[in-house]
């Protein structure tokens, strides 16, 4: 028998019991749909993690003040205790060779006003290395000049969201805006970064030099002279993150005169560790979803095998007749394998369609990142064909081993 003859015979047999064939393929449909959804969400999440890494920096350490002890022994929020200083920034820059960039930071909330337009936003007081550490580019205008970091001038850089709110289609360069009650001159606009890895609008902020922020915007916060809320460190190589973190912790403990065994008054956050944790969580969820999809495929495959065994039992006389007129065991085996693979392939095609639609719906309703591509479809089709081939082999082999004389005696 030719391949076309086998295919035509298999289609005729399945059409004769189309309802049973449809129900048999249900497990494969569910399994393939689950594979599509699982892989699409996994790839989308990984792409989101990559986006977060590019936004946060994979070679970065963030140091913040640890929360102090409040009334009744309750620990206050991290950053509420002023334990870091500009001197710590300079010490890290000079004494930690792996630290390529170091920048102190102050931040707070404010109302920014231009004419009748205003916006509630966040201000950040930064040092020059902050732009390199966070990979911020200037879309319009210029970055701060070296003289601006002395604190005597009042320049400001606008995030894209703030620029649109205040100036619409204009860039606002040279205009005067008020941060709270203090006038600032717009010298530039930051390039847009959009939504961050944690869902925040990265463009909803304004940036001023650190000393200007200390004197003009943060004077009411009651901070000690020279204090900073956070220190960001850009390490020269990702391989040196652990050693740089250890050196920084030792240096700050020495500078802050912390006794051995005593608790640090600062906290070092390794961005790479956060990303690694999130990646591990994503991989675990992908494995769980993969296990569910695998179980569905196994159940579907067992269903195919059971139905094919029933079909062999029902068609013993037909098999004997085919062998009597010249069909060999290999022809019978190929025919039943073709039927099993057709059931699985048709179920796979339906499952692919449901999986693609389901992934898009899950992404929209569940607000999850989804990434569909041709490789996912090819993988799902291969799974469906493999399922039919694996679970259809035993019934096909059983049919091919029947004795034609005994088969013809069956009623």
pLDDT per residue of the chain (411 residues) written in tens, 0 to 9: 565 666 666 666 666 677 777 777 777 788 788 778 877 877 777 677 666 655 555 678 899 987 543 333 334 444 446 889 999 999 999 999 999 999 999 999 999 999 899 999 999 999 999 999 888 999 999 999 999 998 889 999 999 999 999 999 899 999 999 999 999 999 999 999 877 655 678 899 999 999 999 988 987 677 788 899 999 999 888 788 888 989 999 999 999 999 888 888 898 888 766 667 766 776 777 677 677 767 777 777 787 788 778 777 777 777 777 777 777 777 778 877 887 888 888 888 888 888 888 888 877 886 777 777 777 778 777 877 787 788 888 888 887 877 777 766 665
Which pLDDT value is given to residue 239?
A: 82
Q: Which of 43, 22, 47, 26 is nearest to 359 (CA)?
A: 43
Q: What is the C-alpha to C-alpha distance for residues 78 and 101, in angstroms, rounded to an integer?
A: 23
> What confidence score (pLDDT) does residue 207 get?
96
Sign of CA dihedral 381, 384, 390, 395: negative
Map out the domains of the chain as residue ranges: 3-52+278-409, 104-234
How much is the pLDDT for 1? 56
What tokens does 51 get?
A: 């986006």
How confident is the model at residue 77, as a pLDDT? 46
- Is residue 64 within 8 Å of 277, Cβ to Cβ? no
Tell me if the pTM is above 0.95.
no
Looking at residue 126, its pLDDT comes to: 95
pLDDT at 80: 47
Q: Where are the beta strands (DSSP E) in 191-289?
A: 205-209, 227-228, 230-235, 266-270
3-state secondary structure string across 267-320: EEEEHHHHHHHHHHHHHHHHHHHHHHHHHHHHHHHHHHHHHHHHHHHHCHHHHH
| Per-residue pLDDT at 105 | 93
Compute the residue count for the chain.
411
How many angstroms separate the CA atoms of 84 and 305, rounded?
A: 68
pLDDT at 233: 93
231 beta partners: 63, 104
- Look-up: residue for tokens 């992404």? 363
Q: Helix H segments across 128-183?
A: 130-133, 160-167
Q: Which helix (H) or strand (E) holds 147?
A: none
Q: What is the pLDDT of residue 123?
A: 95
Torsion-angle region of 77 (φ positive above 0: left; ψ -120 to 50: alpha; else: beta): beta
């Amino acid at each position: 028998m030719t391949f076309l003859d086998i295919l035509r015979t298999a289609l005729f047999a399945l059409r004769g019991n189309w309802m049973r064939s449809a129900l048999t393929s249900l497990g494969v449909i569910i399994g393939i749909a689950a594979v599509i959804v699982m892989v699409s969400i996994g790839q989308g999440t990984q792409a989101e993690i990559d986006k977060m890494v590019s936004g946060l920096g994979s070679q970065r350490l963030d140091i913040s003040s640890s929360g102090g002890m409040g009334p009744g022994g309750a620990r206050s929020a991290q950053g509420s205790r002023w334990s870091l200083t500009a001197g710590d920034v300079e010490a890290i820059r000079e004494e930690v060779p792996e630290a390529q960039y170091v920048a102190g930071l102050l931040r707070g909330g404010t109302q920014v006003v231009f004419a009748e337009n205003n916006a509630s936003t966040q201000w950040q007081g930064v040092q020059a290395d902050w732009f390199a550490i966070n990979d911020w580019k200037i879309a319009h205008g210029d970055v701060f000049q070296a003289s601006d970091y002395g604190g005597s001038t009042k320049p400001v850089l606008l995030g894209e969201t703030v620029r649109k709110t205040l100036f619409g289609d204009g860039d606002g360069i040279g205009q005067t805006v008020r941060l709270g009650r203090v006038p600032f001159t717009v010298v530039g606009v930051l390039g847009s970064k959009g939504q961050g890895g944690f869902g925040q609008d990265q463009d909803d902020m304004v940036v001023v030099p650190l000393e200007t922020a200390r004197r003009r915007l943060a004077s009411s916060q009651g901070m000690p002279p020279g204090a900073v809320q956070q220190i960001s460190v850009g390490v020269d190589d990702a391989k040196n993150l652990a050693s740089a973190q250890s050196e920084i912790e030792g240096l700050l403990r020495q500078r802050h005169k912390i006794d051995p065994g005593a608790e640090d008054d600062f906290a070092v956050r390794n961005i790479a560790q956060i990303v690694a944790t999130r990646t591990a969580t994503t991989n675990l969820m992908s494995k769980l979803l993969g296990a569910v999809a695998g179980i569905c495929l196994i159940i579907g495959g067992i269903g195919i095998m059971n139905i094919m065994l029933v079909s062999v039992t029902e068609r013993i006389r037909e098999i004997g007749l085919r062998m009597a007129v010249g069909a060999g065991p290999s022809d019978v085996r190929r025919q039943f394998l073709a039927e099993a693979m057709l059931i699985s392939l048709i179920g796979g095609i339906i499952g692919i369609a449901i999986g693609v639609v389901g992934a898009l719906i899950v992404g929209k309703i569940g607000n999850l990142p989804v990434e569909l591509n041709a490789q996912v479809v090819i993988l799902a089709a291969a799974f469906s064909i493999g399922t039919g081939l694996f679970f259809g082999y035993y019934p096909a082999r059983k049919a091919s081993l029947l004795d034609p004389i005994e088969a013809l005696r069956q009623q």
